[in-house]
Structure 1
Amino acid sequence: MTGGRKQEIWILAFKSALLLYVVFRSYAEAGGAWYIASILFYMCLELTTHTVRIPLLRNLAGAATILFLLSVSDELHPLLFTLAPMAIYGLGAAFLRSPILLFLLTLAPLPFLPPDAQVTYGFIGAIGFLFQAALGEYERTIAAQKQTSEQLQADNLRLTKTLAENDEYLKQSAYTIQLEERSRLSQEIHDKIGHAMTGALIQMEAAKRLQATDAERSAELLQNAITISKEGIETIRQVLKNMKPLSEQLGVNRMKLFVEQFEGSHGLKTVVTFAGDMDRIEPIHWKIIQQNVTEALTNTVKYAGATSAAIHIEVLRTLVKASVTDNGAGAAKVVKGLGIAGMEERAAAVNGQVIVDGSRGFSVTTLLPFAGA
């Protein structure tokens, strides 16, 4: 059901209640065939006003309702004209936008009514005006909210489409980078290693032919082949070394990516900081740190009631320290559940330990010693 249709129903309900009041108050004095016919004709005019969709016909029906009530109230009962304020408001609203002018127009007939009907008319006119004005404001608010909702939906669809396009672009970019890297490696292997191996092979073939006739020259060629082969092997080692990222880069980048994803998924403001030589952290240490940080942040979201958390990873002389602290309520007594027990087990596997403190917020610190320390 549309907002305009709902407004029509509310107005009809108000007019029906008003009509019942007027009939109840005036029927005993003015009852009869003409009275009943007048009420029925009034109802027909009102239904016409609310069912016709053509504005001109609606306005004509509203004007006819006002004139009809004015004429029958003189002949039958003055109280019948108290049905007019709603019709006057409806007709005036089609031409006037000022609430003050509409209110004055609604009460305009007041001086021309009998004194005993003026109070009732003024009261009903004021109530009817406030009712329709409030109803109109409500409908405008609903319409504005609907428009805002539709705009937000459109923006959401547009952003979703943009994100999908960006995601596809990132995938294509990553694939293109992979192809370019493969092409670069292929060219580098061909230019450096391929040429070196080909040169070494030629030297060894020549040395083989000269082995029986010129042993000295054969030995020289073999030595050249060995030197070229060593250089080729060193080149292979250097290429592979350049391809493989440092464990420090893998661990730090993976931790930063995890924090960004966690913050986006749970709405917890999270920062991560590093100190010391991250390259000293071994892969097993990074794995334990990653798992313990994940567990600590999950507990923060579930139980701490915190709005932010901080992760700090520091490499000391003999150990690596990873701490997670939040600004939550903390706990005077820390009860170790499965989560904390799991963190302690992981740390103990490399002779490390976990320290939990709930005095100011909640903090979980993982200490992992280096091998031989």
Structure 2
Amino acid sequence: MTERGAPKELWTMSIKAILLSYVVIQSYVSVGSISPWYMLYILLYLCLNISIHITKKGSVTTIVLLLSMLVTAMSSSYIQPLLLLLLPLNIYELFTIYLRKRGIILFLMMVPLLLLSQEFQAILVTYGLVAMLSFLYYLLLNTYINKNADLKEDIEKRNEHIQQLTKSLNENKEYIRQSDYTIKLEERNRLSQEIHDKIGHSMTGALIQMEASKRLFTSDPNKSAELLQNAINISKDGIESIRLVLKNMKPPKEQLGMNRMKLFVDEFSAKHTFRTSLTHEGNVDIITPIQWKVIQENTKEALTNAMKYSNATFVSIHIEVLRSLIKVDVSDNGKGEQKVIKGLGLIGMEERAASVSGTIIVDGSRGFSVTTLIPHG
């Protein structure tokens, strides 16, 4: 049983049950009793229409539908005319197997109206109404089931796409992790080689000079002193090499702060739709780690607010070190806000700035901008 077939069969059986109940009640009201032949027809109708949904072969279904239509037509002639109202449902089911044009099927459902004898004139209008309502019911049911199935298929495709993206993301994360590990190994190898080449040779030379000086200490004091001085000079050069290597290893403070800001801004841009720009001027070397932390936290809050409320397409972050102030301006090209109401985000930014004796200025006249001012020196 397919996903489309299961709900369709349930709804089809439901409408048949409702229509059959209506026919039985109306027959009982008009006659006052139910004959054994009438009960036999009801049982035959139920058996045939239930077997339609049990058998899945088209040829068998066709035969069962034809039998149901034949039994209904004969019973309406000899037992109760109202039983003819059950015929349109079977006609629709039969011809939808072979025909795709709904208009032809509706015409075939109305054909019995042309063939009704005088005894059926009382239910002429009722039959036409039942045929029309049955057609509309099946039409709406098929439309609903097809749309529902299409939505499920679309959801499955989207889920599959999400799984592919997740897999790709995990692979990228693994690649980044491996790349990071490889870079660290290469850096360790480079430092090891540099220490070996520049410092190891110096220390080995100094040791040789000191060993020679020790041997000549009693026999040739002057030569021993010369060798010892050479060892001292070589050791000094080695120590200077160590200092230079360590200095080159350690990046300056401003690079640490700006690099972290750049990584954060690039990561934020990759996750959201609007573009960002990060610029700076002045001696950012004087910004302390705690000030960098406040700057980054306030920038993050300002970017989040821009994403949620401004409908912006571009956000700029400008860090400027003045004579006595550090100025960090985050501004967007969004809709702005003439009357700024401070929420938890802006209050948190003020508190962070106040922790380093700073303040913030908010402007919503042209886009929206948040400026953090932090004193230094």
| TM-score, normalised by the number of residues in structure 2 | 0.82
Aligned 1:183-332 pairs, distance under 5 A:
183-261=189-267, 269=274, 271-277=276-282, 279-284=284-289, 285-297=291-303, 305-308=309-312, 309-316=315-322, 318-326=324-332, 327=334, 330=337, 332=339
Comparing 212-221 with 129-138, greater Cα deviation is found at 212-221
Question: Do the aligned partners of 2:295 and 2:372 also contact (CA within 8 Å) in 1?
Answer: yes
Aligned 1:69-80 pairs, distance under 5 A:
69-80=72-83
Identity %: 45
Question: Do the aligned partners of 1:322 and 1:367 also contact (CA within 8 Å) in 2?
Answer: yes
CA gap of 1:192–1:60, structure 2 versus 1, over 3 A, is same
Letter in 2 for 1:14: I
CA gap of 1:173–1:329, structure 2 versus 1, over 3 A, is same
Letter in 2 for 1:306: S
**1:151 maps to which residue?**
157
For 1:322, what is the secondary structure of its paired residue? strand
Aligned 1:82-101 pairs, distance under 5 A:
82-101=85-104
**2:84 maps to which residue?**
81
**2:69 maps to which residue?**
66
Question: Do the aligned partners of 1:343 and 1:354 also contact (CA within 8 Å) in 2?
Answer: no
Question: Do the aligned partners of 1:48 and 1:61 also contact (CA within 8 Å) in 2?
Answer: yes
Are positions 1:103 and 2:106 aligned together? Answer: yes
**1:345 maps to which residue?**
354
Runs of at least 5 residues in structure 1 that lack an aligned partner in the other structure: none
Are positions 1:19 and 2:23 aligned together? Answer: no
Aligned 1:349-360 pairs, distance under 5 A:
352-360=358-366
Residues in 2 aligned to 1:148 and 1:72: alpha-carbon distance in whole angstroms = 47
Which of 123, 140, 161 is 2:167 aligned to?
161
How far 1:15 moved relative to its partner?
A: 1.7
Letter in 2 for 1:243: M
Residue deviations 1:338-370 (CA, integer Å, cap 9, x gap): 52442332331xxx4433445555533222344
Residues in 1 aligned to 2:111 and 2:197: alpha-carbon distance in whole angstroms = 100
How far 1:299 moved relative to its partner?
A: 6.0
How far 1:296 moved relative to its partner?
A: 4.2
Residues in 2 aligned to 1:242 and 1:230: alpha-carbon distance in whole angstroms = 18
How far 1:300 moved relative to its partner?
A: 5.9
**2:43 maps to which residue?**
40
CA gap of 1:210–1:150, structure 2 versus 1, over 3 A, is same
CA gap of 1:278–1:45, structure 2 versus 1, over 3 A, is farther
Residue deviations 1:289-329 (CA, integer Å, cap 9, x gap): 1233245456667xx73334543222345543112335465
For 2:329, what is the secondary structure of its paired residue? strand
CA gap of 1:41–1:209, structure 2 versus 1, over 3 A, is closer
Letter in 2 for 1:282: I
Question: Do the aligned partners of 2:9 and 2:53 also contact (CA within 8 Å) in 1?
Answer: yes
How far 1:250 moved relative to its partner?
A: 1.7
Aligned residue-pair number:
365
Residues in 2 aligned to 1:333 and 1:305: alpha-carbon distance in whole angstroms = 12
For 1:109, what is the secondary structure of its paired residue? helix
| TM-score, normalised by the number of residues in structure 1 | 0.83
How far 1:235 moved relative to its partner?
A: 1.8
Question: Do the aligned partners of 1:334 and 1:358 also contact (CA within 8 Å) in 2?
Answer: no
Letter in 1 for 2:94: L
Residue deviations 1:106-141 (CA, integer Å, cap 9, x gap): 233332123724433332222111111211121122
Runs of at least 5 residues in structure 2 that lack an aligned partner in the other structure: none
Aligned 1:134-145 pairs, distance under 5 A:
134-145=140-151
How far 1:66 moved relative to its partner?
A: 0.9
Residues in 2 aligned to 1:222 and 1:173: alpha-carbon distance in whole angstroms = 47
Residues in 1 aligned to 2:202 and 2:354: alpha-carbon distance in whole angstroms = 52
For 1:332, what is the secondary structure of its paired residue? coil
